[in-house]
Chains A and B, each alone.
Chain A
Amino acid sequence: MSILHDIPVLSLILLSPLLGLIVVLLLPKHRSSWLKTAAFIATLIPLALSLWLYSDYDKQQSGAPFDEQLNWVEVPLNKELQNGVSEFMFKFQYALGIDGLSLPLVLLTALVTAMAALAAFHVKKRWKSFFVWFLLLETGMLGVFLARDVFLFFVFFEITLIAMYFLIGIWGYHNRERAANQFLLYNGIGSAIMLLAFVLLVNTAGFRIEQIGEQANFIYSGSYADIARNMADPNAWVNMSPEQLDMFNPFQMTDTMQWVLFIMLLVAFGIKLPVFPFHTWMLKVHTEAPPSVVMIHSGVLLKMGAYGLLRFGVMLFPEQARDWAVVLALLGVVNILYGAVLAFRQQEFKLVLAYSSISHMGIVLLGLAAFNEIGLQGAVFQLVSHGLISALLFLIVGSMYERTGTTELSKLGGLARSMPFMSGVLLTAGLASLGLPGLSGFVGEFLSLLGLFESMRWLTAAAVLGVILTAVYVLRSVLKITFGPQHEKYSPLKDARLIEAIPMIVLLAFILLLGCYPSVLTDTVQYSIGGLFEQLLATRAGG
């Protein structure tokens, strides 16, 4: 047993950015270098802890020893008491936990945020409030992946929205306010739908009975464990019709309602992913937000959509997910091809990368749609891999913009001459993005395609077309920037400084590690996915 089991490590990971936030608040607001250093150090704590946790994580036990739980608020409900029930109450729980699915994403969040904190070196104004929102955003993201209660999940999800909203709206480029508003509008609608779905879910499946002597307490809560257990148990009230139960059953979740909930979750998280045609908001964020924020947005926030879809959509509604596997796969293929063709059209590099994200998140949908272990592993791998690659790409975009003052492809060219290091990293990141073996992008792509191929050949073949198109748009834009004759005005530009080079090298190292030694991730995911998969197989047999 390591010392990790004796300390509330998950809470430490979650709350350490807030500690940094307090330090930042106490520092004088014109001391930009103090603020930057403090914020960076604050992001190192969750990074160190989650790395430690990752290395110590016992794959067999699925992280259960790390569960942390506190009752936060208990609300007595004014419901008619039935025989044997002494009290109805609603418990709002502070419940944290990890499994093979959330742990890699926690680590990804901590890593990308720390690297983004270094990239925030370029921020020019109002450093203090920037880092306050920045660190709040980190806590929000970590909370989303650590939460084990749907309402807690929702709260953290909302925190990320608010923090992002201000980070885009204040520190963005020209049209920052429009971008921030559109971001909030879309995501606000998404979270409203999500909340509605959660409330309906808790109202039917989110209860447990605590027996105290003769009396029974009837407790509603958003606990993942309760909901999942009730949903999976054919003898739970949630799955019984009034005839079977021989009494009025307010908890029954009918087929229709299951479908409604599944589709609501699909839309809510599809907006975040984003799934075509809900993608326009993220184009604006990519172009208008400051690069360090886009690193987080594209590196982590989009992953919350896929995580939610997997955690709530697929895990709680496996039958619906299975019946709609073709729909998911179709959406994935549309995302891949639509994103790729439009990425090829763009003249603005940030938009190329934005459409490329749409295309790459399509691969995640393919993995989910595969509905087998290989595909799910591929989807998770692709999440982590794309998080690292897109963070690296936007890191470089930020550093290049600082020097050239533009990200228009037509105005760039030949930067390899004056910035060989940065151009080399950009090219490598581009190659990772187009799925070159040896780098992480290949593994996620390959596993997703391999998984989907079992059931849907033609759709997989169509998705492979995307592999070709990805090469086309990545090389077109990257070579336009780095190769070719150099514009005269760029010849005095300096290559990356140490503080810029460090995050590039770190991200690249992780991309290489995952590409060459993917088991370091797949083995961690395996136990959780494997367990989930047995459930899914059971429903498959049952359905």
Chain B
Amino acid sequence: MEMYSQAAWLIPLFPLAAFLVLTALGRSFRRAGVFIGSIGSLAAFALSLLIVIDRLGANAVDYNYAFDWIRIGDYTLRIGFEVTNLTAMMLVVVTLVSFLVNVYSAGYMKNDERITVFYGYVALFTFSMLGLVLSDNLLSLYIFWELVGVCSFLLVGFWYSKPKARAAAKKAFIVTRIGDAGLLIGILLLFWYMPNHALDFTTIQSVFDGQTGAITTGITTLIALLIFLGAVGKSGQFPLHVWLPDAMEGPTPISALIHAATMVAAGVFLIARTYDIFQDSAAAMETVAYVGGFTAIFAATVALAQNDIKRILAYSTVSQLGYMMMALGLHSLTGGIFHLFTHAFFKALLFLGAGSIIHAVHTQNINEMGGLGSKMRVTAWTFAIGALALSGIPPFSGFWSKDMILTAALETNPLLFVVGLAGAFCTALYMSRLFFLVFMGKPKSAAAGAHESPATMTFPLIVLAVLAIIAGFVETPWNGWFGSWLSGEPEDAHGSGVVIIASIAVGLLGIYLGWLVYGKGSVSRTVIAERLPWLVKLLERSYYVDELYAAVIVKPLKAIGAALSVFDEYVVGGVVRVAGAATSSVGRLSARLQNGQVQTYSLAAVIGFVIIVVAIVGRRFLP
């Protein structure tokens, strides 16, 4: 009995109703804003939880409902929702993190005069994200895909009077839109190639799964790559990752909700939804794997050299999303989704922890912090749990999911296995650097008056910390429960002693090295900066990708714009000016004659012209 699944359409409506009420209320009713927003997401979470519990048994039936959105002749575009085990899992993740962020923001945003607007945006985002998750076809997914993008844009630019926030919001929207354009073309291609122009995932699955040969490999690869382009933009993969670190200009709860746990994972979710297309094309799978692997190591190295706590976590998110992509590209759907699942909790935890720190010390520069461990015990302990989960230390959740990805890599692509291990080492290193600089040592200037955050902020931290510990046990090397629940087919245990030992070793090594340098201080921090200043600079500036874009895309576009304006002004407009000069001289003449009635006379001139034309042509009627 999946009675709750049938009510799944209600889930997005709770936050939507919250958004509408909040918008109608306006900026007054500050307390009500917190209350309404939290209730909306709590209701959505409760229903999502019921659905998952309902579906825990084997062979849950997928539930689908769709209606016609636009009918044109024989074509129909539909909107619909569908509950599968994958979407049920996503529902719980999204609603839970959203609820916790709602609670947390009651403390974090307490003194912001636009807190009601903030809650409204968060509710709108939650609605859109749930719509995305529930969509049963690519078109409705695309619609919600764009809506989450615009909510992200609104929230990144929430403190709109800061020029940096404005620039970051704009960049987030435009860079992801490049990916979206790819996704859009992919949808157009699918529409015209699919039998009956169907865009729903069930039909896509049957068409690509069945090896019907209805669509050639070349077109399949093209479609897959275009969809992947959309995922690259949304999930911050190289080379479209540049917006995500800048998006940290938004309020920190938003970074946790949108830019760590939910929206940025939508790209991974999208590929999982259309996985059959990808599996039909070896080239597309390889592209996904290599782009993911490269992003994982690339972003992890950048994170080593950043000093802003949120930027470190942002690059870390980019890197972890790279791992998920790599898993998908290596035919491990379960690995990618499993990592999405665990990452959502521990990364949201880390961001909310960072928010708690920023709230206390009013700076984001980790060099200005220090010694916070004794002043903020809850934050420090929960942050440590999150950091260990991210660094892949057992038994924390990140270890299990990363282990699964590395196992998949070792089996099929040793190069990516090495890349993955190197990335894991960097991850452990940058997290221990972060942790020791912030929580250990002597308090620096900003940390002097710091104290623990209020309960509204620590409660979500504790919940997420518990999840960061236990969420990994759903799938271990000895028990493939999560994978078989997700795919509906029994999966073998996938344990590999080599991988377990290797990944624990690099994780511990990274932490130990971090402790030596930043905790104990027995190795000088500046040794690398002195020996290889260019390398540190390169990492600090994130390999100059932004500068590259400025030179290769923005400048040429501006130059084209400048050239075209000259063209528009002098070539296109020049022809007009000649004609215009003629009329205005007629006008001036008439003006001199008739007391400034220029208009009437040029009007007369045009009408006269028309009449002459009529007269010439009209003669054809006469013999």
Contacts and interface: CB of A to CB of B under 8 A. Distances in A.
A526 B72 contact: yes
A468 B557 contact: no
Contact of A438 (B143, B180, B568, B607): B143
A436 B150 CA distance: 8
A170 B603 CA distance: 14
B161 A483 contact: yes
Interface in A430-454: 431, 436-438, 442-443, 446-447, 449-450, 453-454
Nearest to A452: B188
B191 interface: yes
Contacts of A523: 71
Contacts of B552: none
B613 A195 contact: yes
A342 B71 contact: no
A180 B560 CA distance: 31
Given A468-B181, A530-B73, A344 B561 contact: yes
A216 interface: no
Instruction: Say which size band chain A's interface belongs to.
Output: 35 or more
Q: Which of B146, B178, B618 has the largest count of A CB atoms less than 10 A from its CB?
A: B146
A377 B177 contact: no
Contacts of B169: 479, 483
Interface string B358-385: 0000000000000000000000000000
A471 B620 contact: no
Interface stretch (B87-95, B407-415, B576-584): B576-584
B564 A447 contact: no
Nearest to B160: A483
Interface in B579-623: 579-580, 583-584, 587, 598-599, 602-603, 606-607, 609-610, 613-614, 617-618, 620-623
A467 interface: yes
B422 interface: no
B623 A79 contact: yes
B277 to A, nearest CB: 18
B572 interface: yes
Given A453-B192, A479-B169, A437 B602 contact: no
Contacts of B195: none
A158 B614 CA distance: 14
Contacts of A192: 609-610, 613
B562 interface: yes
Contacts of B178: 468
B599 A78 contact: no
B70 A522 contact: yes
Interface in A409-446: 414, 416-417, 420, 431, 436-438, 442-443, 446
Nearest to B580: A182
B228 interface: no
B181 A467 contact: yes
Given A182-B576, A431-B150, A471-B174, A345 B70 contact: no
Given A184-B606, A479-B169, A464 B185 contact: yes
A177 B622 contact: no
B75 interface: yes
Given A199-B614, A281-B576, A342-B564, A373 B623 contact: no
A276 to B, nearest CB: 8
Given A191-B610, A345-B564, A467-B177, A77 B146 contact: no
B161 A485 contact: yes
Given A479-B170, A483-B161, A162 B603 contact: yes
Given A342-B565, A526-B72, A184 B602 contact: yes
B142 interface: yes
A493 B263 CA distance: 37
A438 B561 CA distance: 31
A446 B580 CA distance: 39
Contacts of B584: 178, 181
A431 B144 CA distance: 14
Contact of A519 (B70, B177, B562): B70
B250 interface: no
Contacts of B75: 373-374
A185 B160 contact: no
Pick from B70, B169, B617, B623 the residue with the most CB of A within 10 Å: B70
Given A182-B580, A468-B178, A523-B71, A78 B622 contact: yes
A200 interface: yes
B166 interface: yes
Nearest to B226: A461
Interface residues of B, number: 67
B617 A199 contact: yes
Contacts of A446: 184
A490 interface: no
B163 interface: yes
Interface in A178-221: 178, 180-182, 184-186, 188-189, 191-192, 195-196, 199-200, 203, 220
Interface string B70-101: 11110100000000000000000000000000
A178 B587 CA distance: 10
A169 interface: yes
Contact of A280 (B143, B170, B572, B617): B572
A519 B71 contact: yes
Most buried by A among B561, B562, B618: B561
B621 A373 contact: no
B238 interface: no
A259 interface: no
B183 to A, nearest CB: 10
Nearest to B617: A199
A65 interface: no
Contacts of B161: 414, 416-417, 483-486
Nearest to A193: B613
A303 B161 CA distance: 38
A34 interface: no
Nearest to A475: B170
A185 B613 contact: no
Interface in A248-288: 276-277, 279-281
Interface in B511-555: none
Give the one of B75, B150, B163, B188 with max A CB within 10 A.
B188
A420 B191 CA distance: 41
A199 B618 contact: yes
Contacts of B184: 446, 449, 464, 467
Among A78, A169, A177, A185, max chain B CB count under 10 A is at: A185
A181 B576 contact: no
A186 B565 CA distance: 21
A62 B537 CA distance: 70
A506 interface: no
Contact of A479 (B157, B562, B598): B157
Given A188-B609, A196-B617, A519 B69 contact: yes
Contacts of B488: none
B439 interface: no
Given A449-B184, A479-B169, A484-B160, A177 B565 contact: no
B565 A345 contact: yes
A464 B561 contact: no
B70 A447 contact: yes
A338 interface: yes
A484 B249 CA distance: 13
A344 B557 contact: yes
Identify which of B72, B142, B146 gathers the most chain A CB atoms within 10 Å of its CB: B72
B622 A437 contact: no
Most A C-beta atoms less than 10 A away, residue of B185, B189, B558: B185
Interface in A318-353: 338, 341-342, 344-345
A243 interface: no
A338 B173 CA distance: 22
20 contacts: A90-B621, A165-B599, A182-B576, A186-B576, A191-B610, A192-B613, A196-B617, A203-B621, A280-B572, A341-B564, A373-B73, A414-B161, A438-B143, A464-B185, A467-B177, A483-B157, A483-B166, A519-B69, A522-B72, A530-B73
Given A447-B70, A479-B170, 4 more contacts: A79-B621, A90-B621, A345-B562, A530-B73
